[in-house]
Amino acid sequence: MTTTTAPSNGLTAVDRCDRCGAQAYLRVHLKGGGELMFCAHHAREHSDKLREVAEHVHDETNRLSGTPTPTE
């Protein structure tokens, strides 16, 4: 499994958690094909199982801890 935090193919506000519908911050590409998206809460809750089935993980949960920049 590989994990990236790069903004390529970044997640947007339109991307939603497949578990609860909240904004997704983690995209998991599955070994068997397909992908799942999770909010930070459900990504943490299911992290052990995700490691088993993931081929690649795109993680943007670090966006949650940053300080927002003011817009002009």
Q: What is the pLDDT of residue 34?
A: 96
* pLDDT at position 10 over 80: yes
Q: In the numeric block, which tokens belong to residue 32?
A: 């068997």
Q: What is the DSSP string of 23-65?
A: BP-EEEEETTS-EEEE-HHHHHHTHHHHHHHEEEEEE-GGGGT
Q: What is the pLDDT of residues 12-67, one digit of tens each?
A: 999 999 999 999 999 999 999 999 999 999 999 999 999 999 999 999 999 888 66
Q: Output the pLDDT for position 66.
A: 66
